Amino acid sequence: MSDDDLPRTLLITLTGPDRIGVTAMLTRALAAYDLVVLDVEQIVIRGRITLGMLVGPADTLEHGAALVLEEAAATARAVAAELGLDVEVTLGAAEHPAGRRGPLLVTVLGYPLRPAAVTAVTTRIAELGGNVERIVRTASYPVTAIEFSVSGADQQRLRAELAEVSVAVRVDVAVQPAGLRGRGTYLVVMDVDSTLIQDEVIELIARRAGREDEVRAITERAMRGELDFGESLHERVALLAGIPESVLDDVRRDVRLTPGARTLVRTLKRLGFRVALVSGGFSAVVDPLAAELGIDHARANVLEVVDGVLTGRVQGPVIDRAAKAAALLEFAAADGIPLDRTIAIGDGANDLDMLAVAGLGVAFNAKPVVRAQADTGLTVPFLDPVLYLLGITREEVEQADADAGVETPAPPVR
């Protein structure tokens, strides 16, 4: 047997009823040998522990590495017997991680998450040459979120094929480099209408003037490609001429935040993120909303008002899809945040440029064309699952609530 064939690693896997001190007892026993810890994972589910530890000989061990590993394996078996746990020990060759692709993080969100969906995702990962090295549940409410650490797969191909799987099995799937998850300052830029809020503000204004149907008709023309956003905005705003400015106060009170919006913003702010709003709507509604939520930047169209009445015109440049992307770039530069640490969230074609320029583009309950072009998408009716795509766990959300003196809603009984 050549030296290359000799065992150079020992994988110890303990499973069974959890108890205090399992990890300490195992490592205390292994400390008698000249070993180094190469990797370790532990999880406890419903009182049952699975502990995996990979060890190898230290550089100072010149001879007898194989014998040391075999003796350590025997020791691990003895510890498992004392603890009443099952054990599996595997002697293997040295690892060569430099040749592997990745790592990537694949996040799966379900409402609910069913075994068939997990099967479909993990099967496709394997078909594309990916190896799932770690699985962690990051949230159980309001959605179930599972995170897979994957090596060996091409990011773009995996993202494209899992997008097809997500539609077929009705779950949301995000694929991103593990490096995106490093803690630090990030910028999250959100659309407002039908994203941060459930409403379209221009329709709320038009409703009070009895012109909602006319505004919607113009919106539908724009969606059919008969008008670009700027043209449609000017036509719709023209229908608002003569409406008292005081109506905007009523509209602000009527606006409904998307479920989870406050939790999303509060948690991001508590964790040091910068947050911005960029809207094709109107500053008269967006600016007070941003102030209420403690948002750092806001940009929206400005309605012209003369003598307390809307003139039917917009002041200044229109906030269209190009302007939204430009705002993201401007806010990132002002905050000193590189583009790969920016996240954009939106639902419509007007958000496409912003989603494309951001480090991570998230389509939220979006039109099919937007979902197809974004990095990932959410189809659940809550905004706070965006947190789980960013590697923020439910525990961190609850801690942010506790720090802010806010009571976290209790999850439903399952």
Q: Residues 175, 162: contact at Cβ < 8 Å? A: yes
φ and ψ of 305, to 5 deg: -125, 130
Structural tokens at position 383: 């905004």
> What's the first-to-final CA gap in the chain, in angstroms?
55
Identify the active-site residue in 18, 59, 172, 191: 191
Residue 255 backbone class (left: φ over 0; alpha: ψ -120 to 50; beta: rest): beta
What residue type is 382 in one-letter code? F
Q: Is residue 196 helix, strand or coil?
A: coil
State the CB neighbour count (10 A cutoff) for residue 325. 21
The candidate with the shortest Cα–Cα distance to 129, out of 148, 147, 152, 106, is 152
What residue type is 199 in one-letter code? D
Helix, strand, coil percent values for the chain (each to nearest 5) = 40, 30, 30
Q: Tell me whether residue 191 is one of the annotated catalytic residues.
A: yes
Q: Tell me whether residue 193 is one of the annotated catalytic residues.
A: yes
Identify the active-site residue in 34, 154, 172, 193: 193
φ and ψ of 160, to 5 deg: -65, -45
Omega prior to 17 cis, within 30 of 0:
no
In angstroms, rounded to a whole number, what is the distance separating the alpha carbons of residues 198 and 327?
A: 23
In angstroms, rounded to a whole number, what is the distance separating the alpha carbons of residues 144 and 21?
A: 30
φ and ψ of 103, to 5 deg: -85, 155
Structural tokens at position 167: 């539609």
Q: Taken in order 338, 339, 340, 344, is the CA torsion positive or negative?
A: positive
In angstroms, rounded to a whole number, what is the distance separating the alpha carbons of residues 266 and 182?
A: 20
Parallel/antiparallel/unpaired status of strands 48-57 and 35-45:
antiparallel
The candidate with the shortest Cα–Cα distance to 195, out of 340, 355, 409, 390, is 355
Q: Which residues are marked as active site?
A: 191, 193
